Amino acid sequence: MTPQEAYKRLNRLLWDGRLPAATIVIVDHATMPTMHGVTMNGHKMFMKPIILLNHQTPWGLTLVHEMLHVAEPVLEHGKIFDGIVTRYWRYAKKHIPGIQKRRTLKPTPSEKTDENVPY
Ligand SMILES: [Zn+2]
């Protein structure tokens, strides 16, 4: 399962498909050495989000974290945020087999990144 596929499945499972389609970009460790993932909003509030995932990261949990940013743009990091992520991740592991496989991802080729990331 790719993170892009997992986004669709998680969107359906956890948010009833309410989140906008997103572009998932896999970046190498050198590009993002201190982070597992980051979410950038497109023009208006998360209408076309772009999620960057560090290719060495166990990405399932990170993806749920980043998707919560898309779902709740004003909710800041903290106890509530982490509590939701933990609960959703537990639920996702139960209902989407294979999502927690730890696999090193292949970074997205940069031509494709340029095309998909307008900023
Ligand atoms: Zn975050």
Distance from C-alpha of 53 to C-alpha of 64, rounded to nearest angstrom:
11
Please give the distance, rounded to the nearest whole angstrom, from the Cα atom of residue 95 to the centre of ligand 1: 23
pLDDT for position 102: 65
Provide φ and ψ at 109, rounded to 5°. -55, 145
If one compares 81 and 32, the residue with the highest pLDDT of the two is 81
Average pLDDT, the chain: 85
Pair type for strands 23-27 and 50-54: parallel
**Under 8 Å between Cβ of 67 and 11:** yes
For residue range 41-54, what is the model confidence (pLDDT) as tens digits? 755 555 789 999 99
pLDDT for position 38: 85
For residue 101, give Cα distances in angstroms to 2, 6, 9, 14, 105. 11, 12, 15, 19, 11
Helices and strands in the chain, H and E counts: 4, 3
If one compares 44 and 81, the residue with the highest pLDDT of the two is 81
Instruction: Please compute the mean of the pLDDT values over residues 93-103 and round it to a whole number.
Output: 84
Distance from C-alpha of 59 to C-alpha of 41, rounded to nearest angstrom:
19
Please give the distance, rounded to the nearest whole angstrom, from the Cα atom of residue 49 to the centre of ligand 1: 14
Q: Where do the domains of the chain lie, and which CATH numbers do they carry?
A: 3-116 (3.30.2010)
What predicted TM-score, i.e. pTM, was given to this entire model? 0.84
Amino acid at 9: R
Ordered strands of the 37-40 beta sheet: 23-27, 50-54, 37-40
Please give the distance, rounded to the nearest whole angstrom, from the Cα atom of residue 115 to the centre of ligand 1: 24
**Under 8 Å between Cβ of 100 and 58:** yes
Residues of the chain with pLDDT > 70: what percent? 85
